[in-house]
Amino acid sequence: MTDRGAGTGMDAQNGTDDGAGIDAGAGIGAVTGADAASVADTTSRRRRITPAATRILVSAGVVIVLFVAFAIVHGGVLGRGGADSTRVSSISVRPAKATVSTLAGDLDTSASVDTAAVQQIVDDYSATAGLGTTYSIVVLDADGTQIAGHDADVAREPASTTKTLTAYAASATLDLNRTLDTQVFLRGSGSSSSSSASADGATIVLKGNGDVLLGDGESDPTHTNGRAGLATLARRTADALAADGISQVTLDYDDTLFGSKRLPDGIEETNENYIYEMPASSMAIDLDRQWGGEGEADPDRVTSYPSKTDTPALNVATRFAQLLAEDGIAVTNADAPVSAAVGDGDTQLTSVSSAPLWQVMSFMLKNSSNTLAEEFGRLMALQAGYENSPEGAARAVTDIITNAGIHSDGLELRDCSGLTLGTRISALTLADVQRHLATMGETASAPVLEGLIVPGIDRLHGTYGEASYGVLFTKTGTLSNVRSLAGTATTTNGGALFFAVVCVDMGDFAAVGNANEAFAGSLAAL
């Protein structure tokens, strides 16, 4: 493949726009007025977590949360090939500039913990009406010592808290400063003078490299979802073709990135009509959500779950053909683009870039996106040489967690999101992941922590309590019979507590959800 050039102008910098896509929809709510003052008062009285000295910046009308620059670990992961195994080096990515700022203060591992108070909080939780007996809870200190718990090492169905394992593994494996390019190639020997390029027509190939947050319109530098716009790509392609005297093309699309198996076994039990997760794809517009009308007011905030299809890449190609026609390029097979891989003799015409992966990770965690969690797993499998399949992704995450020294007894992943039934993770593993994020000694953990829910910034109401504003990071999990919560609470003396709760088959679903939040909020008040 030959590269004739990438995009130009503002859109070429989409992957390097400092701070874009963090507050612009990544959160669940804004902080204003008295609420901002409350956060400022709480956070001014204590130090907060993450390994790179960071802080929460609050102004009267807005909370600005910026990222640390982070170093990503590439080595140390055992590879395990398979029939569909490839290397992620085949994925086209573009380096993005790391933003530099702060999220929380240095963790003080020597800070004392009131163990009796922690035990009382756990006892109070265990007395929750409607909790039942099939629950696990644990609180760890900074050294990994269990302060209090119940069935902490019993592996249970965790729901979406599974995503914290995937996020940790991705932060330790992938270069999260990178972006994913969606490219257009001209078929031929590598020159526009070849027989495939003429006034009578040519063949072009739309190649996806994993961006499933493509926008339908122009590239949007202010959001993660839609950072790379299909209309921008079509316009650039039309300009490049017109410069070569080409006004008619046949369109192929390359969706070979994730091999032949696109969904975990058994996911159909919880994913009818692909409502919560689309098949893994090299490209999709807005996670392939089929709106049939107006979509989300804020593209970075997922509040609705319309059905999806099993042809997301084809959908992109079909829409791309329509946009090319609007830009003056006739597409001979506009209704039926052909699935075919890019060849060695094909020449790149242009491309658009996704948001950097650290922003995509934040989007994944804030919105609990099953599709993106699975994609991160698939990218890790490719990077580390595992089988290019859902099973390969789950194995990659499991091995990365285990090799990091995180407690992994009983760990069994059916997917990378927690949507597929049969996954088993102990509360001890979930809490230990949180501890490793805060103490791993690298700022690679910053994207994961930013993606977790922060009361007072992302959520102003609920049962966490004002004492938790700005000093609590959590990830929830929910299935029809599961309520889980994992996170980190920083204490008033600058220390930290790492916790997890996994409840299944409870008697009172709503009461347990409230109890989970109250439990976390109580830890933050210590």
What is residue 43's predicted lDDT score, i.e. its pLDDT? 40
pLDDT one-digit tens code per residue, 17-69: 222 222 223 332 333 333 334 334 444 434 333 333 332 222 222 222 223 23
Across the chain, mean pLDDT equals: 80
Residue 111 vs residue 6, higher pLDDT: 111
Q: How far apart are CA 301 and CA 479, in angstroms?
A: 20
Is the pLDDT at 169 greater than 60? The verdict is: yes
Q: Where are the domains of the chain?
A: 2-6+178-357, 33-175+383-524
Percent of the chain with pLDDT strictly greater than 70: 75
Instruction: Supply the pLDDT for residue 113.
Output: 87
- What pLDDT shows up at residue 26? 31
Stronger pLDDT, 485 or 35, i.e. the higher one: 485
For domain 2-6+178-357, is the CATH number 3.40.50.300? no
pLDDT band (50, 70, 90) for residue 459: low
Q: What is the CATH number of domain 33-175+383-524?
A: 3.40.710.10
Tens digits of residue pLDDT in 188-219: 844 343 334 444 579 999 999 999 999 999 99
Is the pLDDT at 122 greater than 60, yes or no? Answer: yes
Kind and range of the H or E element at 52? none
Does the predicted TM-score (pTM) go above 0.85? no
Cα–Cα distance, 98 to 66 (Å, whole number): 11
Q: Is residue 266 scored above 90 in pLDDT?
A: yes
pLDDT for the residue numbered 424? 99
Question: What HEC string does 316-356 produce?
Answer: HHHHHHHHHHHCCCEECCCCCCEECCCCCCCEEEEEEECCC
Tell me what pLDDT residue 449 has: 76
Q: What's the rounded Cα separation, in Å, for the pair 5 and 100? A: 29
Q: What's the angle, vertex CA 385, arms to CA 379 and CA 391, rounded to 5?
A: 65
pLDDT tens, position by position, 307-321: 999 999 999 999 999
C-alpha span between 437 and 431 (Å, rounded): 10
Of 399, 447, 523, give the one whose Cα is nearest residue 164: 447
Q: Alpha carbon 126 to chain centroid distance?
A: 32
Q: Which of 21-30, 261-270, 286-295 has the lowest mean pLDDT?
A: 21-30
pLDDT of residue 58: 25
**First-to-last CA distance in the chain?**
59
- What pLDDT, on a 0 to 100 scale, did the predictor assign at position 467? 73
For 128-162, how does the pLDDT look when each residue is reduced to its tens digit (9 = 90+)?
999 999 999 999 999 999 999 999 999 999 999 99
When pLDDT is cut at 50, 70 and 90, the band that residue 184 belongs to is very high
Stretch 353-369: mean pLDDT? 96
* 191 compared with 337, residue with greater pLDDT: 337
| pLDDT confidence of residue 112 | 82
